[in-house]
Chain A
Amino acid sequence: MYEKVFESTKLAQPTQGGDSWYYLCYVSTWDAFLAQSIWEWSRVFRDGTKVKFGTTSGGYALLGRVKGFPAYWNQWTGKVHPAFEINGLPNPNEVLNPNWDIGYSLGPSMQVGKFIDDMNQVYLHQPNANRIDIYDLENGQKLGEIIHNAGEYFASLAWVQPGQVAGLCRGSGKVRIMDYLSSPRVLESGRIEPFKVAAYDDAFHLFFALGTDHKARVYCREAWPAALSAPVFDPAAVYGLKANRVKARLTGQDGEPCPDWWVHWELLGVAGNPPLGYFDRLVSKTDKEGWARNLYFGPDDVSAGQTRIMARVVLY
């Protein structure tokens, strides 16, 4: 689970009753989000402030675009149009896929997000809940695929950085950061709370979601710790008068590593006896894989007995 850094008190709700959001996209030039519902276009800010600026009309479906802009797919022509930076409205004068019309079965929908990279001439399509197909915009040929096994369609496919997209699942809140260019694969997995619509904020690398309760939630791209493993010796045999390597791993709710957290090490005595030996360091920082490492020195007077190691992380 990613760390939630903000939850709004304001409610970002469509103006008309019975309306609901079905797409959200981060717009880098606004530093805000374009939200589309059945009947309106709005600009939503991170604190949940919503400003309606237009009324949607049929024929245009939103999809993600390289560099963090929205694009619009026209279901009648199969063309994808960019959006104006000023107001996010579709610009029918430009076409991003002049060589290949994206047919009805490949186009985006409310449930299934799509993504277009017109700089590298690539289109991402989700044929099922566990895979993304990569198409060449020049000729419509399939170039490759990403197996992500999320088990749910990504409602949004949003740009992260050159060659990377984030997929966000509405029902489970699962998140996959994927490479679609150099070697298509899943780079990072995580989770946010289930949402109505969500987007990836590529300015500050955040996940931004509007929940079914209309609250805005902001998650930073760092896993929030859920579990610290019991310390283990590596190698397992412990000797006195020797620096024995010991480590503990800090992970999030889904086993994702939590880097850069301080782990506090402490020796406890057993059955009223004082602790034996000592640590090299009292605190150590977790590495990229979530491991915190330390050295344990056994007692230097050949005394034998038992001692306990306690590893702690202070969250708040």
Chain B
Amino acid sequence: MSLWHVQTVAPCMEYIELGRACYTTTPPLWGPDGLIYNGHLITCPRHYKQTTNDVANFFYEPGNDRLVAHIILSTTYWPSWDVQRYEFSAEDGSWLNREEVLARQAFIGIWGAAWTRDGTMGSFNKIYACRNSETAIREISWRTAEPVSGGWWVDPYTWNPKSIYGFAVVNRVDNHFAGIGSWTLDCWRNLGATPERFGQLRLPNTLGYLAYESRNYCWVVTKDGGILKADYQVPRWEMISTVQNPTADARNYYITYDTRRKRVVVFRWREDAPDGACRNQLEFYYPMVEAGQLTQPVPVTSLRAGNRIILAAHLIGDAGEGVTPYTVEGELIEPVEGRLVTPFSGTELNGRVCFQYQAPDQACTETLMLQVSVEES
């Protein structure tokens, strides 16, 4: 089961209801009911006036201890789009400004959301984001996603080699910086003087979102739900895992790190339900691997009568990462002719367990059953 799953809040948000019966045929732009954009949103069975068009930013805002998402919506009302700031409790994922958003009072303006993207928390608990309208990376306001006047900024396009990033983590304390276009995490140092690109990490798949954890670590979620932790000061991959139950209906994944509770939060943008209801969800994970499966024991020595035979199996997570420490118990199923020398065995760092079996002096068929109990959260 991938990373250790704490809880899922699904759905974590709602769209504004139409408030009347849905249209049987898609209403025209100009009709008896006035101006209606995106008429398909309120054509039966759909009956919501909004849908998610893009998630511009998703980050943990430590000042208010909230998870913040700036979401661009397609709407039926004027001017066919809306940008709202969704605030969730970092504790349990509950939607804190529900009334405000459903009353369209959390509007942050188009410029912050459209020109700023993929913000994440960085040094000094500030939010930093790349921009669609320029190559600079700027400190932005968590409220509006607009650059803070007089805020910190760098422009990687002026560095050598000239670079443009869509995602970035900023470590102003050590003058480190890591940015991603799509496939490669570029690690820079010496930001204060002449920035130098000293290392690169290739991603296992195209990026979904990048999040800052600390002066050393950042988190990556890929388009298909893979989660990786990297040390961007070495640079080196530290961990590979996945979200729980990656689904085909996920449009994208967004990741952030709750530095107060030391856990990973993933925002999953999912396709709307058939009636148009929002199905976006928040998932909370502890940054440790949960056991997903136990592979079959496989003999690794010659299968001959009278031999001591070694069998190996693995306890792994959903990305194949070894899970430890657990005790795996072995049991021979009746009829038993030989002897299981190792009745239980502990997993090694790569999740491997080895069992020894003493074969009798004649030919036989034997069945070994393995089981492990993993405590549920």
Q: Give residues in A with beta carbon < 8 Å to B.
A: 3, 5-6, 8, 10, 29-32, 41-43, 45-49, 51, 53-55, 57, 84, 86-87, 89-93, 201, 203-204, 206, 218, 220, 222, 314, 316
- Are A6 and B298 neighbours in the complex by a CB distance under 8 Å? yes
Surface stretch bound by A, among B86-94, B101-109, B136-144, B308-316: B308-316
- Are B299 and A218 neighbours in the complex by a CB distance under 8 Å? yes
Which of A3, A46, A53, A203 is within 8 Å of B319, CB to CB? A53
Number of interface residues of B (CB under 8 A): 45
Q: Told that A47-B296, A87-B228, A218-B299 touch, could you supply 13 new A-B pairs with CB distance under 8 A?
A: A3-B302, A5-B302, A31-B312, A31-B352, A46-B295, A47-B298, A49-B296, A86-B236, A87-B204, A93-B199, A93-B200, A203-B300, A314-B305
Question: Known contacts A46-B312, A87-B228, A93-B235; is A51 also within 8 Å of B320 by CB?
Answer: yes
Q: Give residues in B with beta carbon < 8 Å to A.
A: 183, 198-206, 224, 226, 228, 235-240, 293, 295-303, 305, 310, 312-314, 316, 318-320, 322, 348-352, 363
Interchain CA distance A30-B322 in the complex, whole Å: 7
Residues in chain A near residue B298, CB distance under 8 A: 5-6, 46-47, 218
- Are A222 and B313 neighbours in the complex by a CB distance under 8 Å? no
Residue with the highest number of chain B CB atoms closer than 10 Å, among A45, A47, A49, A220: A45
- Are A55 and B322 neighbours in the complex by a CB distance under 8 Å? no
Residue with the highest number of chain A CB atoms closer than 10 Å, among B202, B301, B303, B316: B202
- Are A206 and B300 neighbours in the complex by a CB distance under 8 Å? yes
Residues in chain B near residue A42, CB distance under 8 A: 320
- Are A220 and B235 neighbours in the complex by a CB distance under 8 Å? no
Q: Measured between C-beta atoms, what is the minimum distance from A169 to chain B in Å?
A: 23
Q: Which 5 A-B pairs have the closest CB atoms?
A: A54-B204, A43-B320, A51-B320, A47-B296, A204-B300
- Are A87 and B240 neighbours in the complex by a CB distance under 8 Å? yes
Residues in chain B near residue A222, CB distance under 8 A: 302
Residues in chain A near residue B314, CB distance under 8 A: 31-32, 45, 49
- Are B237 and A84 neighbours in the complex by a CB distance under 8 Å? yes
Interchain CA distance A6-B311 in the complex, whole Å: 11
Residues in chain A near residue B295, CB distance under 8 A: 45-47, 49
Residues in chain B near residue A48, CB distance under 8 A: 296
Residues in chain A near residue B319, CB distance under 8 A: 43, 51, 53
Interchain CA distance A87-B205 in the complex, whole Å: 12
- Are A53 and B352 neighbours in the complex by a CB distance under 8 Å? no
Residues in chain B near residue A92, CB distance under 8 A: 200, 202
Which of B293, B350, B352 is within 8 Å of A49, CB to CB? B293
Residues in chain B near residue A203, CB distance under 8 A: 300
- Are B316 and A45 neighbours in the complex by a CB distance under 8 Å? yes
- Are A55 and B204 neighbours in the complex by a CB distance under 8 Å? yes
Residue with the highest number of chain B CB atoms closer than 10 Å, among A46, A57, A87, A203: A87
A56 closest partner in B (C-beta): B204
- Chosen A-B contacts, 15 in total, with CB atoms closer than 8 Å, are A5-B303, A8-B296, A43-B319, A51-B318, A54-B204, A55-B205, A55-B224, A91-B201, A93-B199, A93-B200, A204-B300, A204-B310, A206-B300, A220-B299, A314-B305
